[in-house]
Structure 1
Amino acid sequence: MGRVNGKVVFITGAASGMGRAHALRLAGEGARLAITDRNPAGLSDTLAAVQATGADAAAWPHDVTDEAAWEQTVDAACAHFGRVDVLINNAGISHSTTSVLDLGTDEWDRVMAINARGVFLGVRTAGRRMRDQGGGGSIINISSVFGLVGGALASAYCASKGAVRLLTKAAAADLAPFDIRVNSVHPGLIDTPMLDGLLASEGEARQRMLGVQLQRRAADPDEVSAAVLFLASDESSFMTGSELVIDGGWTAR
């Protein structure tokens, strides 16, 4: 208990799935939580669950692709909590299982806007705030195993998550003088609504994808949250520009 006691943690995409799991795990370790999402109903449910643990938390609707919204939401969180110590860039989407030969530009742009532009805006906005307030900080960008390896029928998703991986390394170099650490997390198959949506029309795809992993199961979101907690805490003080891979052995094969 208390591994992030008193730290103000800003989490995007907190309405469900991994974002909600991160919020609950960090709340249990003493964090004060600023949570955001573009889904108000799900966000309200997460806020209620977090507050039920006794944690200090507040929530704001937030479109991560909107530059002005980032400024307004981080300002609101800092007005409420006084500062921001940790950013978890969790918001992300997948896309239809479509060959690169058939993927439309609108779908490509939508995935890149949320998964890559949204992470950039978060790093820049929260990074500036951490720099100006002093005391360092931790930025955790949620990428994917598909930010390390390619996958059929997932070109935009792979491109966006690969962008997150290298943005993380570049940002780590830029922010190191301010004692702000920037790391990426690369989950494999996780039991979330996104996975269900991705595989809903694919028949045997779930088992086929699980067969790539050494551990032939999907992870519980809390198994990723354990790694996120480590990066948010001072236990990871000598880690920056790194990728933490939680993929059940996918990339070991």
Structure 2
Amino acid sequence: MTTALNHRTRFTDRTALVTGAGSGIGRAIALALAAEGANVVVAGRRRDPLDETVTLIEGAGGKALAVTADVSLATDVQAAVAATVDHFGSLDVAVNNAGVFRGGAPVADLPEEDWHSQLAINVTGVFLALQAQVRQMRTQPAGGAIVNIASTFGVHTRHPGAAAYAATKAAVSVLTRGAALDHIGDGIRINAVSPGAVETPMSLRPGESEADRADRARATLPLGRISTTQEVAAAVLYLASDDATSVVGTDLVVDSGGTA
């Protein structure tokens, strides 16, 4: 996979931190930010996928740094922010994308450990990341922009077997809006993007092939297909950019019309 540098330069001389950037939506966001001029710090629990993302960015002429971090641990998130500032001098954009899905079972049958792991990463991880990122950004004259990745599962729709995951992503949406109100006075804009089905393994149902998924999308989604990771990344970059300077506390849905 290669990505040429974009002709747009909305993030030149800015530094972005993206969690969960070793694959899927997170990697697409990191590549898109770098293509528009950002220095990008990619964070996640596994080093090898992060290094692959860095190689892709550098191969396209961008600048990137990989930092291993578990977002459910305050010390890891704080260290990731510190590494970002130490290496590139500032933290101007943060995208909190790290998340896990433990589903497929009704609430009464969901293992308690699956509930706790989703809560720890999807909700507490975003909370801890917001704390560390805001504390840095409010020391900067230009403030910053933060985008949290929620989901259409949650505030927008529900699905059998995914109640716990939906609850965590609904929490991300509400947390985003509350934090946006708390910190816009600090010069920090906070918003969310809620993807629907996206071209990643997470959107495949048990035993379903990509061709099966495409057939299902043609039959059920108004657009007739699921979203690409690049389309979700474009929404994130809009909210993080100066194109959205008056957008505060929104939850932007990218779902091929599935919740229209």
TM-score by length of 1: 0.94
Deviation at 1:208, TM superposition (A): 4.9
Residue number in structure 1 paired with 2:4 = none
Residue number in structure 1 paired with 2:5 = none
Residue number in structure 1 paired with 2:200 = 192
Residue number in structure 1 paired with 2:31 = 24
Q: Is the 8 A contact 1:189 1:210 kept in 2?
A: no
Q: Which runs of 5+ in 2 are unaligned?
A: 1-7
Residue number in structure 2 paired with 1:223 = 231
Deviation at 1:211, TM superposition (A): 4.0
Q: Return the alpha-carbon distance in structure 2 between the equivalents of residues 134 and 112 of structure 1.
A: 34
Q: Is the 8 A contact 1:189 1:219 kept in 2?
A: yes
Q: Return the alpha-carbon distance in structure 2 between the equivalents of residues 49 and 208 of structure 1.
A: 32
Q: Is the 8 A contact 1:173 1:241 kept in 2?
A: yes
Q: CA RMSD in A?
A: 1.6
Q: Which moved more, 1:92-101 or 1:200-209?
A: 200-209
Q: How does 1:92-131 map to 2 (within 5 A)?
A: 92-131=99-138
Residue number in structure 1 paired with 2:3 = none
Residue number in structure 2 paired with 1:58 = 65
Q: Secondary structure at the residue paired with 2:194?
A: strand
Matched residue type, 2:247: M
Q: Is the 8 A contact 2:180 2:249 kept in 1?
A: yes
Matched residue type, 1:182: I
Matched residue type, 1:248: S
Aligned residues: 250
Q: Which runs of 5+ in 1 are unaligned?
A: none
Deviation at 1:202, TM superposition (A): 5.9
Q: Are 1:213 and 2:218 counterparts? A: no
Q: Secondary structure at the residue paired with 2:107?
A: coil
Q: Is the 8 A contact 2:217 2:225 kept in 1?
A: no
Q: Is the 8 A contact 1:10 1:88 kept in 2?
A: yes
Matched residue type, 2:206: A
For 1:180-216, what per-residue CA distance to the aligned partner results, in whole angstroms no more than 9, with x for missing partners?
Answer: 00101011100113224xx234689845576442122
Matched residue type, 2:62: A
Q: Is the 8 A contact 1:134 1:178 kept in 2?
A: no
Q: Are 1:232 and 2:240 counterparts? A: yes
Q: Is the 8 A contact 2:176 2:249 kept in 1?
A: yes
Q: Are 1:248 and 2:252 counterparts? A: no
Q: Return the alpha-carbon distance in structure 2 between the equivalents of residues 209 and 114 of structure 1.
A: 29
Q: Which moved more, 1:143-152 or 1:206-215?
A: 206-215
Residue number in structure 2 paired with 1:157 = 165
Q: Is the 8 A contact 1:4 1:232 kept in 2?
A: no
Q: Return the alpha-carbon distance in structure 1 between the equivalents of residues 10 and 82 of structure 2.
A: 25
Q: Secondary structure at the residue paired with 1:146?
A: coil
